[in-house]
Amino acid sequence: MPVRIAALTRQHRPLLKGFQNQHASLVEYLQRYALRHAEKDLLARTFLAIDRTAGGERIAGYFTLATASVERRSVSAMEALDRLPQFPIPAVLLARLAVDDRAQGQGLGRFLFEEALGLTIELARTGPVAFRLFVTDAIDGAAVRFYERFGLVRLADGYPCRMVLDLKPLVGG
């Protein structure tokens, strides 16, 4: 049976502890915060890639989406501001994307990214609200290269590295 995508609910709780990733923060988010953010705080929604194996169901990967508002830290005048929409700019934040270490290198990360982008574009096209940017914070150099392939551009040089994609051409605005 192929991988299926499902929004995280408390029914998935027994599966969470089996997830493994080289970045402890990505494991910690899934096991400690994701359900709370989805069901209690309504801050973000997490989607799981669930694989049925001989040993039962496993979480092969996940991604988390949230809304965000992109603002400026300073209020000083800037020439670039003339070329930008007025701040704050509404955005969808790909807050997390991770694949279990034991299932990496088989295209699941790309599939999850496409799923996240697809949901975002659908919401931007048909949802009741508008937003302009798709934003993520790449955790390391490998993540930056992964997102750059899909046209996301780095806004900073350190890590986590903030990256953006302009949604306007994708939603036909």
Contact between residue 132 and residue 143 where contact means Cβ atoms under 8 Å apart: no
Q: Which of 6, 15, 66, 171 lies at the binding interface for another protein (CB under 8 A)? A: 66
| Placement of tokens 């049976």 in the chain | 1
Contact between residue 167 and residue 124 where contact means Cβ atoms under 8 Å apart: yes
Q: How many residues bind another protein (CB under 8 A)?
A: 69
Q: Measured on CA atoms in the order 155, 172, 110, 150, is the torsion positive or negative?
A: negative
- Region of 8-16, 85-93, 123-131 interacting with another protein (CB under 8 A): 85-93
Q: Which of 13, 22, 56, 69 lies at the binding interface for another protein (CB under 8 A)? A: 69
User: What secondary structure letter does DSSP report for 85?
Assistant: P
Retrieve residue 120's tokens. 């975002």
Binding to another protein by CB under 8 A, coded x per residue (else -) over 103-142, reads: x--xxx-xx-xx--xx--x----------x--x-x-----
Chain mean position to CA 29: 12
Show Cβ contacts of residue 166 under 8 Å, excluding neighbours closer than 6 positions. 132, 133
Show Cβ contacts of residue 93 under 8 Å, excluding neighbours closer than 6 positions. 44, 65, 66, 67, 68, 135, 136
Binding to another protein by CB under 8 A, coded x per residue (else -) over 148-167, reads: xxxx-xxxx-----x-x-x-
Please report, as residue ranges, which positions from 6 to 45 form the binding site for another protein (by CB under 8 A): 25, 28-29, 33, 37, 43-44
Minimum gap (Å) between residue 129 Cβ and another protein: 14
Retrieve residue 33's tokens. 């915060």
2 near another protein, rule: CB under 8 A = yes
Task: List contacts with another protein (CB under 8 A).
Answer: 2-5, 25, 28-29, 33, 37, 43-44, 49, 51, 53-54, 58, 60, 64, 66-74, 76, 78, 80-81, 83-85, 88, 91, 93, 95, 100-103, 106-108, 110-111, 113-114, 117-118, 121, 132, 135, 137, 148-151, 153-156, 162, 164, 166, 168-170
